[in-house]
Amino acid sequence: MTSGDHGLDGVERRGLMFVLSSPSGAGKTTLSRLLIDRMPGLKMSVSATTRPMRPGEVDGRDYHFIDKARFDEMSKRNELLESATVFDNRYGTPRAPVEAALSAGQDVLFDIDWQGTQQLREKARDDVVSVFILPPSAADLEKRLHSRAQDSDDVIRGRMDRASHEMSHWAEYDYIVINHDIDEAFAEVQSILKAERLKRERRTGLTTFVRKLQHQLEK
């Protein structure tokens, strides 16, 4: 295992994959943005996709835009940590940049569903910390979907139907946060990330640090 960057206490550590999942409208995207803005040492995972680039998108920032042949090649070579097909377009997380970030002591944030989370666990269980965001009630979730004014009533009904299936996987996650209030939910998610950064097994420099302390005490 490669040692990572020094933490605030000077002890090197390995980064982690921090996964947020939720039904549409439960607050996952807002919480992801807050974490990136307010938590140093955390970067957003950038997926590869075969779908066409949309106006305003930037290759390498929003997605890595590649063709289907290249995507299939990456999949065959086990170069993707997780992948999915959505409306005939392929999406996946390139392995190399994530592993480089973790080895450098940087944490990577994933905004993915339960299926992607399962795939990450299969390939890198020790590096994954997963959080599922729940709405406080079905009525609140529907209200939030309507307030976004992005979707038709039929689309919202479809999202509500899928929400029940997505929430059935809540017990597969390490932590559950009920989003009554976005500030409180962010504080809880932030606390989870801070605590996971301090886990002994991720602090690769602890053995050297403790030996140094012991040496100082024995002088």
- The domains of the chain are located at 17-218
Cα distance between residue 89 and residue 100, in whole Å: 27
Structure tokens at 3: 């040692």
Cα distance between residue 92 and residue 80, in whole Å: 6
- pTM attached to this predicted model: 0.87
User: In the CATH hierarchy, which fold is given to the domain comprising 17-218?
Assistant: Rossmann fold (3.40.50)
Cα distance between residue 31 and residue 29, in whole Å: 5
Cα distance between residue 72 and residue 177, in whole Å: 36
> What's the pLDDT band for 6 if we cut at 50, 70, 90?
low
Report the pLDDT averaged over residues 85-112.
94
Q: State the chain's mean pLDDT as an integer.
A: 91
Q: Quick: pLDDT tens for 49-77.
A: 999 999 999 999 999 999 999 999 999 99
